[in-house]
Structure 1
Amino acid sequence: MDPITAAALAALAGGLGGEAGRHAWQGLTTLVQRPFGRADAEATQGDGTPQVSSGEREVAALEGDPADPMRAQALATALGARAALDEEFRRLLDGWWQRAQASPSGGDVHNSISGGTQNGPVLQGRDFSSLTFDMTRTTASSDRD
């Protein structure tokens, strides 16, 4: 599994990546809410606190302050520790991370039209599909010569 960096977690928590980033972050929060797959990972210390964090507190903390590198590092550490103890979690976390890395990271669109008068439809935006333009000329064919 590729390591999940604190910087990447902070970027996702901060909303970078637009809708894809928000979707990836939601996937992570859902993942850490899953119960541990191994009983020894759920064991508690003498005072009742878990030996290994599920990551839920760290996710909430980073979501509250995505610019705090210590919170991002705490989440990365919690995810790594839980993955080391829980094989199913490691497999699911690896799948989540692969999808998160493959998602488009930007939603910015920068359109520019230059070169004088445009003789036709101009469409500005991003990620268009299945578009058809009827480009029938209304002037005489002699104008083309």
Structure 2
Amino acid sequence: MDPITAAALTSLAGSLGGEAGRNAWQGLAALVRRPFRRAAGEESGETGGISSGELELAALRDDPDNTAHAQALATALGVRAALDAEFGTLLEQWWRGAAQATAAGNVNNTVNGTQNGPVIQGRDFSHMTFHFGQK
């Protein structure tokens, strides 16, 4: 798995106003709240000083431009994934999905040449009707 970078987490936290960003953030929050498992199948409330990532997640949510908070969350996720194989697998699945979902939200529109009518730029239009009169 590619490491989850502080820059990616900062970008994600900053995109919480959009549907994809909110969904990705909620998925990460649910994952972080899962019980910590040290050995196969064993839940442990005792983490030996290892962060679950909940405090770091909340700090970044509250201050999404703070790179120190993002780095702390990236570190907490990496350590937890290294110690909890199930969490590591689920984190990797979340990361792939979040990267695809947030990338899919980008729109790049280009208009070239002479246009014979209005140009509308955007993404995912639905239920639209255009009526053009005769000249």
Q: Secondary structure at the match of 1:35?
A: coil
Match of 1:127 among 124, 128, 131: 124
Counterpart for residue 20 of structure 1: 20
Do the aligned residues in 1 keep the contact of 2:16 with 2:25 (CA within 8 Å)? no
TM-score (norm 1): 0.70
Larger Rg: 1
1:5-45 per-residue CA deviation (whole Å, 9 max, x = no partner) reads 0000011111168321221111101110111122586435x
Matched residue count: 129
Given the alignment, which residue of 90, 98, 122 partners 2:96?
A: 98
Q: Unpaired runs of 5+ in structure 2?
A: 131-135
Identity, in percent, stands at 58
Q: How far apart, in 2, do the equivalents of 1:41 and 1:90 lie?
A: 16
AA paired with 2:124? Answer: D
Kindly state the Cα deviation for residue 93 of structure 1 after the two structures are TM-superposed: 0.1
CA contact (8 A) 1:111 1:125 kept: no
Q: Secondary structure at the match of 1:77?
A: helix
Deviations 1:81-101 (A, max 9, x none): 110111110000000001111
Q: 1:115–1:16: structure 2 CA closer, same or farther, 3 Å change rule?
A: farther
Give secondary structure in 2 for the equivalent of 1:103.
Answer: helix
SS in 1 for 2:15: coil
Structure 2 Cα separation of the partners of residues 42 and 9 of structure 1? 26
- Residue segments in structure 1 that go unaligned for 5+ positions in a row: 45-49, 134-145
After superposition, what is the alpha-carbon deviation per residue over 1:107-143, rounded to whole angstroms, capped at 9, x for unaligned?
557586984653xx9765413579999xxxxxxxxxx
1:137 maps to none
Say if 2:92 is the partner of 1:89.
no
CA distance in 1, matches of 2:116, 2:128: 23
